[in-house]
Structure 1
Amino acid sequence: MHTALTSRAIAAPPRGAKAHRRRRMRGAGTTARASSSGRTGDDDAPDRSSSSSRSRNDGGFTRRAALAGYALSPAALSFLAAAPPSAHAKLDIIYDGELQTAYTFPVQLQVIALRGSVASQWEGEFNKTMLGKGKASVTTAISPGEMFDELLRTAPPPSFPGGYISPADYIAGKRPPPGVPPPPPPPSNKDKKKSKGAPKYLKADVVSVGDEFLAAAVTRGLVLPLDPSVVQNEWYARLPYAWRELATRDPRTGYPSAPAPPAPPGRYPNTTAVVYTNGDPDQTAKPAMYGVPYRWGCTLIAYRKDKLPASLRERPPRDWDDLWRPEFKRRVGMGSGPRQMLTAALRAEGMSANADGWGGGGNVRARLESLRREQLLIQDDVQYLQALGNGDAWIAVGNSDDVLSMARKSSLIGVVVPMSGTTLFADVWCVPASAARKPGGVSPLTNQWFDYTTQPARVNLRVGLRGGVSPIVFDGGGIDYASIGMNGPTGGFVDYDAAGDKNGTRGMGAKIKDFLSRDEKNRGGEIMQGGMPPDEVWARSEFLYPLSPRIKDQYNELMREWAAEASTRKPSGWSTLKIF
């Protein structure tokens, strides 16, 4: 391995370097005198030995040293005194025959993650791997919606020549026609203060974006495309095809696109190029990878065990169509947003949640009408779980993060993944557009963060769905337990054919129930005990993509009818109507 250094930019010596050198000289003299009095050899022997030892190691830079500047060659130290001080000083080195950048100062990485999506020890463990030459600072956002709103506030204002057009039109190669008014001025400091998180987001190098907001973030220019060279990174090859496809988007529409294949196995340079900075419209209009998925979860059905009527105890809820059971009239809760109701109705009819339309049979529309008028108790992102907790709602639909958090607080709440398949969500690391305008640009540690958070060591399937699942063990059709040394889920696979309370233990204490039900544990697959559904359930599951214009028009027409009705008479239990 041959390593060479160039002197394009060399950092000035740190403060106190001269005093340090004087102390070293005095120490060397003391050692030499001790050496001449007690051992053979001349006074310069220790210095020559040390120098020769360092010379032999000049070519021994590790890959991490080459990428993040963990060491400097003695050949470069002679230039330190003459170089001007610079906060962004760096070295060019030839490593494995390739030009790389080595930084001579502790590199900073500012990360904003969704709350609960990152293990608390990740920040400290990552910083330990940097050996003091790099530091990540991880802060959190409350929800994907808050993250998206902050990205909207901190995104760079459009400043295209000739006037304003949308980022999606610009990257498609379009230009504003003559006479279009100039772009709006940048927000003032007073406007920036309206958002408490604005300074934090302006400094961010990496943010966590929910996949449901990824299409909007891409088309609005809120996140930057990753450089095509990322296919040479090991973390890129580590991600299954389904995840690379999820993060590869067409910038004009936001829809997923076919990803580029990874580099041939055996050699991954892990280049420091992170974002694509070429402004050529022909290049930026092409599909590109806009993020790195690092965690996923799914939609769950939760129900109150103690509220189930006797007719349902032998067969508790297990699929989407259970929401329309007459026993749950005015007892259904779900999060806000029109997509929640539409997804439930489509899946209950055996259709994809991304269907192009609901057909002419009217079954989906009838389910939507019934859900709204007869079944729904509340539709609110926070209150639907509160209603389930206090017993007002008997059944609810929500994401696994929220539902499992509530279920941990009460043994009266049962949880199940819909048997016919569910909808999946993912958290994706993205580079915000504002990062390119930072004085130092995007942090060179971004690739290292992508790599660290997608390593097999970050996988924790022993708790099942709690905390989310790493994408590297899920290819879209099933979970690869063997890749991390497991024979299956810790709590077993969910048995959807098992009776709900065949042993009659529902009202007994926990220890007695566990004893009487011990033979059922191996096949019970309780989600809260690390159980997971079988792979055929995951194979029938899907991510939510932007709705097609056809089904959006159909649904909006129904929503306008409901809005007109609500203007004269607001049904009890029905909250705010929202149109796409």
Structure 2
Amino acid sequence: MALASSLCSSYVGFNARFSNSNFDPNRFKCKSSNFPPLLQDDANSKLLPLTPNKLKNTNSSLLVGFSTSTLAFVGLGLCICSSASASALNPLPPPCHSLQLQEEQVVKNSSAEEKDEKLEADFEAWKSKSFALSVPLSIVALQGSIPPSWPKEFIVSQSRRLKFQTKFLPTLEDIFSNLCMPFTKPKGNIGPASTVAADIVTLGDSWLSLAITKAIIEPITAAEHQDWFKELGHKWKVYLRRNLNGDIDPQGQIWAAPYRWGTIVIAYKKTKFQKHNLPPIQDWADLWRPELAGRIAMVNSPREVIGAVLKYMGASYNTTDLDLQVAGGRDAVQQNLTLLARQVRLFDSMHYLRAFSVGDVWVAVGWSSDVLPVVKRMSNVAVIVPKSGASLWADLWVIPAASRLETNRIGGRVRGPSPLIHQWVEFCLQAARALPFNQGVIPGASPSAMESVPFKSPEELTKGRPKLDTNLVAGVPPPEILERCEFLEPLPDRTLSDYQRLIDNIPKSEASFMRIIEHISSVIRTLRLKFS
């Protein structure tokens, strides 16, 4: 519309200027032509010569027409150019089908996001359920061998999806007997609460060899790749690797994991020694002093009794050939064993500490796990590890061989132990778990203390407690004594036969002593013949 108005205005202005001008058409005549311009008459259809007035009017009309055409042509060109420019500047609208695809893509993305959010919400709700990813772990432990806080702390560390069950038995012999029962009495009462149905149980290191040979436990798979095993000291790694005969073998498998250890110790009443002007006990040789005859109570373990004689003679607990490895041979061992039997009033692992508590004896020889809790309730008692070294004991975690049982009465345990076994072992061996041992809450020491400097508890933690006179530091002997201490390794059958002969040749002058010796003899026979 604006262009049309402009064209009309141009035409009117042009026409006005043209009509008022002094235009002479004759000036534009061709000089070589002698013919005047012609004009056709409409009336008679003849070509008439043009008069000056007619020529003037005719020229005016032609010029106006020509100007109008020119202006129209120029205007049309401008419109086309303007349209082209506008098209170049403004992008073409997308096709209808492209818009539809974009809308569908937006809908799909929105739907996918909603689905992801819903899946994530469902997964969080599933995780919050009490039965989701519930992993069982059942343990049977020796009563008093682990701090009461351990189960609670382990549950917290594993979240509420852990189904943790604990059971405690009073003695190591009870645990061993319960492990053997399903294999010796197939028709016995076997159920989910049975010891053999547990994922992991306590076993004394002295029972480890027999448990392996009787196949009532199984090796700990992939133990070598676990951090807890890599961080154990060299002595532990050697001691725990056994072959199928239960013997220590560098090519054998890992059958157990330690969580507590200690030594054999000698406790004596300082008041009695001071009253009779007796020097304090420092080593095994003091047990042979005449003034202590009938004043000693001792555990009835043959390895500990004969081992004390061997240490007194400068030999090892693990001597396998008495004639070749001991000065004086078997005869010298026999003589010293007879002398020790006359010194000891009671060989009894169950009642020796009771006799010590009531004053029937002045000296008690036993395991630190038994002795320390009792003497801490007494006054004027000293506890020492002999200077020449002593035997070491250890409480171990082992896996019952429940997969050997053809029964469906013990639940999923027949399919293999819990996957949380390694987490439990590693938890027990963490540095933080050593605190109850260092403070004396639980007798013994953490396995890490075997090859490290003993940690002494701050005085604030022990303030108000009676101080025990002992050479133990946080349950660990001094380094120079610990170097001479030994684990009790498995002995060959011929050495056990020598032990039996030594016991049989002790003079049996009193009926009470006779019963004690018979009990020791029965223990030896048990080690050789039990479950065979």
Regarding TM over 0.5, the answer is yes
Aligned pairs (5 A) from 1:62-461:
104-155=132-183, 187-188=186-187, 191-192=188-189, 199-227=193-221, 229-252=222-245, 254-258=246-250, 287-308=252-273, 310=275, 312-313=277-278, 315-359=279-323, 360-361=328-329, 362-372=331-341, 374-434=342-402, 437=405, 438-440=410-412, 441=415, 442-460=417-435
Aligned residue for 1:431, secondary structure, equals: strand
Q: Can you list the C-alpha shifts for 1:513-563, whole angstroms capped at 9, x where unaligned?
A: x9xxxxxx9xx973588475320110110001122344323222222334x
Tell me how far apart the structure 2 counterparts of residues 529 and 450 of structure 1 sit (CA, whole Å).
25
CA distance in 2, matches of 1:385, 1:132: 43
Could you say if the C-alpha distance between residues 456 and 48 of structure 1 is closer, same or farther in structure 2, counting changes exceeding 3 Å? same
Q: Unpaired segments of 5 or more residues in structure 2?
A: 1-106, 525-532
1:383 & 1:473 partners in 2: Cα distance?
30
Structure 1 distance, partners of 2:311, 2:361, is 21
Which residue of the partner structure matches residue 480 of structure 1? 453
Distance in 2, Cα, partners of 1:544 & 1:143: 19
Structure 2 contact 219–255 (Cα < 8 Å) conserved? yes
The structure with the largest alpha-carbon Rg is 2
The structure with higher relative contact order (CA 8 Å, sep 6+) is: 2
Q: Cα deviation per residue 1:411-468 (whole Å; 9 max; x = unaligned)? A: 1322111111111011110000125655422212112111111112211253269522
Deviation at 1:354, TM superposition (A): 0.6
What do you get for the CA RMSD once the two structures are aligned?
3.5
| Per-residue deviation, 1:244 | 2.0
Q: Specify the SS of the correspondent of 1:366.
A: helix
Q: Which residue identity is paired with 2:334?
A: R
Task: State the partner residue of 2:65.
Answer: none
Show the counterpart of 1:16. none
Cα deviation code 1:374-399 (max 9, x no counterpart): 20100111211111101111111100
Q: CA deviation at 1:291?
A: 1.1
* In structure 1, C-alpha distance between the alignment counterparts of 2:234 and 2:356, rounded to whole Å: 38
- Cα distance, 1:352 vs structure 2: 0.6
More helix by percentage? 2
Structure-1-length-normalised TM-score: 0.61
Cα distance in 1, alignment partners of residues 449 and 270 from structure 2: 32
- Taking the aligned partners of 1:238 and 1:53, their CA distance within structure 2 comes to 45
Q: Letter of the aligned partner of 1:534 in structure 2?
A: P
1:489–1:531 CA contact under 8 A, matched in 2: no
Out of 527, 533, 541, which is 2:477 matched to? 533
In structure 2, the partner of 1:469 is: 445
Counterpart CA distance in 2 for 1:357 and 1:205 is 39
| CA distances 1:139-190 after superposition (whole Å, capped 9, x unpaired) | 11111111111111133x6xxxxxxxxxxxxxxxxxxxxxxxxxxxx632xx
Matched-pair contact (CA < 8 Å) for 2:383–2:469: no
Q: Give the aligned residue type for 1:350.
A: G
Report the CA distance shift for 1:571/1:73 in structure 2 as closer, same or farther (over 3 A).
closer
Secondary structure at 1:449 match in 2 = helix
Please tell me the residue identity of whatever aligns with 2:427: Y
Distance in 2, Cα, partners of 1:123 & 1:354: 36
SS in 1 for 2:217: coil
Residue in 2 aligned with 1:544? 488
Using the aligned pairs only, state the percent identity: 29
8 Å CA contact 2:142, 2:202 repeated in 1: yes
- 1:303/1:50 CA distance change after superposition, 3 Å: farther
Q: Distance in 1 between matches of 2:257 and 2:476?
A: 25
Q: Check 1:344–1:480 CA distance in 2 against 1; reply closer, same or farther (3 A cut).
A: same
Partner in structure 1 of residue 500 of structure 2: 556
Letter in 1 for 2:335: A
Question: How much does 1:225 deviate?
Answer: 1.2
CA displacement at 1:220 relative to structure 2 = 0.5
* Deviations 1:479-519, CA, capped at 9 Å, x for gaps: 334xxxx5x5668xxxxxxxxxxxxxxxxxx99xx9xxxxx
Contact 1:234 1:451 in 2 (8 A): yes
Cα distance in 1, alignment partners of residues 123 and 239 from structure 2:
40
Change (3 A) 1:230 1:547: closer
Q: Give aligned pairs, total.
A: 395
The answer to whether the 8 A contact 2:390-2:486 is kept is yes
2:145 touches 2:442 (CA, 8 Å); kept in 1?
no
